[in-house]
Amino acid sequence: MGVQQTGGAIRPEKCRWYSISFKWTNGIAQYDYQSNVEPITIEDSNGNKKVIEILHIKNGWKGIGVIAIPAGCWNDHVQYLIEDKIIPWNNSIRSSYLQKHDVYRAAFTSIFKTIDYTLPATSLNENQCNKINAQLHKRYLPRIGVDNHMPLEYRYSPKKYQGLCSLNVHVKQFIEKMKILLTHAGTQSQLGKSIQLTLESIQILVGANKPIISLPFSTYGCLAEKGWIQEFWKSLEEYNIKIIGPYVRPKINRENDYPLMEKAVDADIYTDEDLSSLNRCRIYLQVHTISEIANGAGTSISYCAKNHIRDPDRESNYKWPNRQHTTK
């Protein structure tokens, strides 16, 4: 009763949920868009049961200015920014009586801020960012007396290099993520813990011992799940930036042991598809290093590994993988 009186009770009309399930096709997990689930109900402040709205996994829901979709697609958010934010702003400056310098200042204090605000929480790819950039400058550049076909270097470079210092969505998204990582990684903040858990998850998924963000994305990126960290990792390689610091990584079990996936990548004989297939087998067997599928002398592979069977003796006491803190 006290929670209801202070406004802390759950309001059914403000609640929504997704049902997320997977199906396997040829060893690859895919979202099951046709899963049937029972409705979820909660009681309102009057004690009446209300059915909570279920959202389709392909459809996003806007919260705090960001349209996020569990399936990881950002097309709805890009469309929202263009149709609901950029186009109305373009129409307003096209019909206004503002001088060129006023439009220039207005862009930095309004529409650029609107786009910038959403970037830390998104994982827009380069094509999506370029699409936003094109719409963002379509009316803005002619309105300030600049040719639409001017080289992009002058559009985005700082004023000291005779540039417009305009918003580049792809670069700005990377900078904002960099700020978050450097501020929260390794801390006990809620965001810091979330980043740490995500990094550890990708570390296990990729199957490497070296810190993920120090590995070349061009060779290991195919093994990672798409998301915030994966896009950030890709940008690190694109801009030739390295981050060095405390990091949690798996532990080598014995002398001369090595991670299976690192050895497969170093062999340089497999395609991305081959590496992904090998990694799926490794994950199914729940192994990380060669010592987990070989005998004590390292001269032969176990029967279970050869026949794609999880070793029941290992699985009963399984802790995958052992972890240690290291600092470079």
Same domain, 140 and 100: yes
Q: How many domains does the chain have?
A: 3
Answer whether residue 300 is part of any domain: yes
5: pLDDT confidence band, cut at 50, 70 and 90?
low
Percent of the chain topping pLDDT 90: 30
Answer whether residue 46 is part of any domain: yes
Domain that holds residue 31: 2-57
* 274 or 296, greater pLDDT: 274
Sorted by sequence, the CB contacts under 8 Å of residue 49 that are 6+ apart come out as 41, 42, 43
313: pLDDT confidence band, cut at 50, 70 and 90?
low
Same domain, 199 and 307: yes
Give pLDDT, residue 186: 81
Answer whether residue 69 is part of any domain: no
Same domain, 6 and 91: no
Does position 251 have pLDDT exceeding 90, yes or no?
A: no
Average pLDDT of the residues in 96-123:
92
Same domain, 161 and 97: yes
111, 136 in Cβ contact below 8 A?
Answer: yes
Give pLDDT, residue 6: 54
Same domain, 80 and 52: no
Answer whether residue 177 is part of any domain: no
Same domain, 225 and 321: yes
Half-sphere exposure of 300 (CA within 13 A, CB side): 3
Q: What is the pTM of this model?
A: 0.79
Same domain, 267 and 202: yes
Average pLDDT of the residues in 60-69:
82
Same domain, 125 and 204: no
Chain mean pLDDT for the chain: 84
Long-range pairs for 177-181 at CB < 8 Å and ≥24 separation? Answer: 177/120, 177/228, 177/231, 177/232, 177/235, 178/232, 178/241, 179/120, 180/120, 181/232, 181/243
Same domain, 309 and 196: yes
Answer whether residue 79 is part of any domain: yes
Average pLDDT of the residues in 23-50:
79
Answer whether residue 174 is part of any domain: no
Answer whether residue 304 is part of any domain: yes
Answer whether residue 92 is part of any domain: yes
Rounded to whole angstroms, the Cα distance separating 164 from 232 reads 26
Does position 322 have pLDDT exceeding 60, yes or no?
A: no
